[in-house]
């Protein structure tokens, strides 16, 4: 009993004792535990904060947007009149006409010495401007009626800042059509290619001061024209091969990811059939990104000269050209091609005499302003 009572008592007492003891414990040890737990939690929070914010800078190009998603909402900067004027002053029409264009105004049939000269001119010139240049060469069979031997084609890709993950791409084709004999293809596409080289020249300094994750890339496609008759196999040799290659390469280079080089293209702007007087352009609803086409039209309106090349009413359909293999792989496109086609399209008379340099200058202003606005060059 006594034991039992005692036990009960002890138990009772110990419980009271414990409560009492609690109130008797000096305050400092309890606070120590509190501060230790608080300190550990604070450390965890700091470590988590830094690791998450690090991850954010690694994967996001713009605030809250992944780099490969940024293109879907990206808008060109609206340029003030003053800014536009200073940009237009950078365009050198004398350089375009007399230094650049003559290098393209030779017969440039695929697989010939002449087209190699043009290719070398492009590579050399872009390297002299400090751009990174890649020559993408491959072989393909022309129609059997033309030759039983393969032709070596070469696309030239020039990139201002090769480490930038996103690219605004301006493109043209530098081959000329095999027939009619002696065809020079001034508008098709010597002038568009010369325009690209001049855009690179005029914006080069501003591009050098930009440290953005978005850069300018130029593609000079080989083998756009049909060698005999336009078919899926006899056309777009360079563009088909490059789109296929880029789809198979992971991007950024050396990083194991589910993104390929096509994801690096924010927008592919293809220039074709340019240089004749009073061209007209249409918004092709199956091809052109409407907000970028409308930006081109807004820039044209800002020229304030009562001329309108760019019709904004959307029309259905698309036109065969080098953008097609990229469009089919969901790359955003602006197809800057005169439609209706120029009067001298695929005629021997597309020889340079049909070029209207006032028109070329006006188009240069529009495309240069669009490029600077898209890249947010200040």
List all residues 6 or more positions away from 245 whose beta carbon is below 8 Å from its beta carbon: 136, 261
Site string for ligand 1BN, 169-188 (x = CB under 6 A): -------------------x
Shortest Cβ 178–ligand 1BN spacing (Å): 12
Tell me the backbone φ, ψ of residue 139, rounded to 5 degrees. -110, 145
Window 234-273: residues binding ligand 1BN (CB under 6 A): 272-273
* Closer of 61 and 337 to ligand 1BN (Cβ): 337
Burial class, 322, CB count within 10 angstroms (exposed 0-12 / middle 13-18 / buried 19+): buried
Out of 140, 175, 225, 272, which one is annotated catalytic? 272
Tell me, by CB under 6 A, how many residues bind ligand 1BN: 8
- Residues facing 140 on adjacent strands: 151
Tell me the backbone φ, ψ of residue 315, rounded to 5 degrees. -125, 150
* Closer of 188 and 288 to Zn ion (Cβ): 188
Out of 224, 241, 276, 322, which one is annotated catalytic? 224
Give the separation between CA 295 and CA 373, rounded to whole angstroms: 9
Shortest Cβ 243–ligand 1BN spacing (Å): 16
List all residues 6 or more positions away from 218 whose beta carbon is below 8 Å from its beta carbon: 126, 131, 157, 158, 159, 169, 170, 171, 196, 197, 200
* Closer of 224 and 241 to Zn ion (Cβ): 224
Answer for the pair 61, 163: CB distance below 8 angstroms, yes or no: no
* Closer of 55 and 328 to ligand 1BN (Cβ): 328
Window 317-376: residues binding ligand 1BN (CB under 6 A): 319-321
Please report whether residue 191 would count as binding ligand 1BN according to CB under 6 A.
no
Burial 127-157 (b: 16+ CB within 10 A, else e): eebebebeebebebebeeeeeeeebebbbbb
* Closer of 188 and 222 to Zn ion (Cβ): 188
Please report whether residue 222 would count as binding ligand 1BN according to CB under 6 A.
no
Peptide bond into 340 cis (omega under 30): yes
Window 76-135: residues binding ligand 1BN (CB under 6 A): none
DSSP 261: G
Give the separation between CA 183 and CA 346, rounded to whole angstroms: 8
Shortest Cβ 346–ligand 1BN spacing (Å): 7
Shortest Cβ 318–ligand 1BN spacing (Å): 10
* Closer of 66 and 347 to ligand 1BN (Cβ): 347
Residue 122, classed as helix, strand or coil, is helix
Window 169-228: residues binding Zn ion (CB under 5 A): 188
Q: Is 272 considered catalytic here?
A: yes
- Of all residues in this chain, which one has the CB nearest to Zn ion in the complex? 188
CB under 5 to 8 A by kind: which of ligand 1BN, Zn ion, none does 322 bind? none
CB under 5 to 8 A by kind: which of ligand 1BN, Zn ion, none does 276 bind? none
Give the separation between CA 363 and CA 284, rounded to whole angstroms: 19
Q: Is 224 considered catalytic here?
A: yes
- Of all residues in this chain, which one has the CB nearest to ligand 1BN in the complex? 320
Please report whether residue 272 would count as binding Zn ion according to CB under 5 A.
no
Token pair listed for 129:
């401007």
Residues interacting with ligand 1BN, by CB under 6 A? 188, 225, 230, 272-273, 319-321
Which spans of this chain sit near Zn ion (rule: CB under 5 A)? 188
Residues that are catalytic: 224, 272
């Amino acid at each position: 009993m006594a034991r039992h009572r005692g036990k009960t008592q002890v138990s009772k007492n110990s419980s009271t004792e414990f409560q009492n003891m609690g109130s008797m414990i000096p305050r400092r040890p309890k606070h120590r535990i509190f501060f230790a737990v608080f300190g550990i939690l604070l450390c965890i929070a700091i470590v988590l904060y830094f690791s998450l914010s690090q991850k954010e800078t690694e994967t996001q190009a713009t605030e809250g947007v992944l780099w490969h998603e940024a293109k879907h909402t990206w808008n060109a900067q609206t340029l003030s009149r003053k800014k536009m004027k200073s940009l237009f002053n950078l365009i050198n029409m004398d350089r375009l006409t007399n230094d650049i264009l003559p290098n393209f105004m030779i017969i440039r049939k695929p697989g010939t010495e002449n087209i190699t000269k043009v290719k070398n001119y492009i590579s050399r010139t872009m390297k002299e401007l400090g751009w990174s240049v890649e020559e993408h060469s491959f072989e393909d069979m022309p129609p059997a009626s033309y030759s039983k031997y393969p032709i070596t084609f070469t696309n030239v890709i020039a990139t201002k800042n090769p480490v930038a993950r996103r690219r605004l791409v301006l493109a043209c084709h530098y081959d000329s059509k095999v027939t009619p004999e002696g065809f020079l293809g001034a508008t098709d596409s010597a002038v568009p290619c010369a325009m690209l080289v001049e855009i690179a020249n005029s914006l080069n300094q501003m591009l050098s001061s930009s440290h953005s994750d978005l850069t300018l890339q130029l593609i000079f496609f080989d083998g756009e024209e049909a060698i005999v008759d336009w078919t899926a196999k006899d056309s777009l040799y360079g563009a088909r091969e490059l789109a296929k290659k880029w789809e198979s390469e992971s991007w950024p280079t050396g990083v194991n990811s589910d993104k390929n080089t096509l994801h690096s293209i924010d927008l592919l702007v293809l220039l074709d059939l340019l240089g004749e007087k009073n061209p007209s352009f249409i918004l092709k609803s199956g091809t052109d990104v409407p907000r970028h086409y409308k930006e081109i039209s807004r820039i044209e309106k800002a020229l304030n000269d009562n001329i309108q090349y760019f019709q904004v009413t959307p029309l259905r359909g698309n036109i065969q050209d080098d953008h097609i293999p990229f469009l089919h792989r969901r790359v955003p496109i602006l197809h800057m091609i005169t439609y209706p086609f120029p009067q001298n399209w695929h005629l021997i008379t597309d020889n340079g005499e049909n070029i209207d340099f006032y028109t070329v200058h006006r188009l240069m202003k529009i495309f240069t302003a669009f490029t600077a606005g898209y890249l947010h060059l200040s």
